[in-house]
Amino acid sequence: MKTCNRNKLLALAGIGLLIGVRMIAEDRVRYPLSGRVAVITGGSRGLGLVIARHLAAKGVNLVICSRSKDQLDAAQQELTALGAQVLALQCDVTDQSQVNKLVAAAINRYGKIDILINNAGTIQVGPVNVMTEREYEEAMNVHFWGPLYTTLATLPHFRAQQEGRIINIASIGGKIAVPHLLPYCASKFALVGLSEGLATELKKENILVSTITPSLMRTGSPRNITVKGDHEKEYAWFKTAASFPLISEEPQKVARKIIGALEFNNIRPSISRAERVASITKEVAPEVLDFVFSQINRFLPKNGTDGYVSKSGYESESRLSSNKIARGADSDAVLNNEL
């Protein structure tokens, strides 16, 4: 009995020592953020804007881009009021020439780029039978080609200064396929593969690449998604799910974890409860996830009378999407410049 207790004490002491050593090591290798320059695609609204707010508080100089001038202007005013230096530029990340100009403008303004955050995104919701090649192309252009273009444009600069940080905002949908989100999931799977491959190859050059796979977030983004199929019902289930606390996350919490991954060089951080549960289940019992999602799919909406027509989320509002849970997305949209 005494030997057993002694072994337990030794084990606890060993764990404590390991934790202490890790904390010291992390403190030594911490990546200081003050004075850095960060480029954030899709930085004018949603998670991108939340990340920009947190980086501004850390003294980071910002470059944000978006296709919407109005949203860019609003985000720039807010971030400037927080004391940040902000360069806001219109840019479509699916256009390589525009991306090259964005990177050149950032370097011209600040003399360098230290951090690239590939955050721009798009979501198409609807059953597979109404999705055409166009939806898959759009998703791949934004989620795969966009991050690839920004990475290729930034890498020569990172190599010249012998360091750099890249944060790729993928999704749990890039690890687990969710019904009625097939173009989104397929493109996010591609981004996860690209990001993890880059991390492996670039680490030797002191260019660290982090792959972020959060679950749904309460940013207010549903109003800007694309909906096909039975528009009102499709929008209602997605908006409700994106607002439901058990399966969605507060963007401020997600942003803090992303900043932590950036500061402590974590290339594959755990972001949310739903992500951890789903990832573990997929590894241990993938057939369980297959069964769960197949059952969920049985209850999702069928095709509507004009199902092939694309509508935005806000065009698909109805009493179904005005339930008590979903209404939280409306206030989140105001908070995070999603209007």
Indicate the DSSP class of residue 145.
I
Among 97, 46, 132, CA closest to 332: 46
Structure token digits, residue 259: 């900043």
Q: Is 184 a catalytic residue?
A: yes
Dihedral through CA 277, CA 19, CA 199, CA 57, nearest 10?
90
- Burial class of residue 332 (count of CB atoms within 10 Å of its CB; 0-12, 13-18, 19+): buried
Query: How many Cβ atoms are within 10 Å of 260's Cβ, its own excluded?
Result: 12
* Integer Rg of the chain from CA: 21
What is d(CA 286, CA 181) in angstroms, rounded to the nearest whole number?
A: 19
Q: What share of the chain is helix, strand, coil (3-state, %, to 5)?
A: 60, 10, 30
- Cα–chain-centroid distance for residue 304? 30
Determine contact, residues 259/55, Cβ cutoff 8 Å: yes
Choosing from 184, 235, 308, 314, which is the catalytic residue?
184
Strands of the 37-41 sheet, one edge to the other: 86-90, 61-66, 37-41, 115-118, 164-169, 207-212
What is d(CA 109, CA 128) in angstroms, rounded to the nearest whole number?
A: 45
Structure token digits, residue 195: 């990001």
- Which whole-number Å values give the CA distances from 321 to 219, 244, 324, 337, in the listed order? 16, 13, 9, 20
Report the catalytic residues: 184
